[in-house]
Amino acid sequence: MHRTVDGLPVVLGGDAVAMTLAEHWHGAARPYRNALCLVVSTGVGAGLVLAGPAPSAHAAAS
């Protein structure tokens, strides 16, 4: 879902995708082209980045 808050773009997505993108952009997965993050909570979710960063959060969340 796309929204704008105070003129800034906001994209809502799942927690596993958000975690994967955050780790790939700023965290432990930053030096790697591929990243996989798993979330085990009340359900199971995963986020995957292959061959470099996603062009945008929306593309990754689609």
- Quick: pLDDT tens for 8-37: 888 778 889 889 989 998 999 989 889 999
Rounded distance between C-alpha atoms, residue 10 and residue 42, angstroms: 25
Cα–Cα distance list, 32 to 18, 38, 44 (Å): 17, 17, 24
pLDDT score of 62: 47
- Give the global pTM: 0.67
Contacts of 52 (CB under 8 A, 6+ apart): 33
**Across-strand partners of 19?**
none
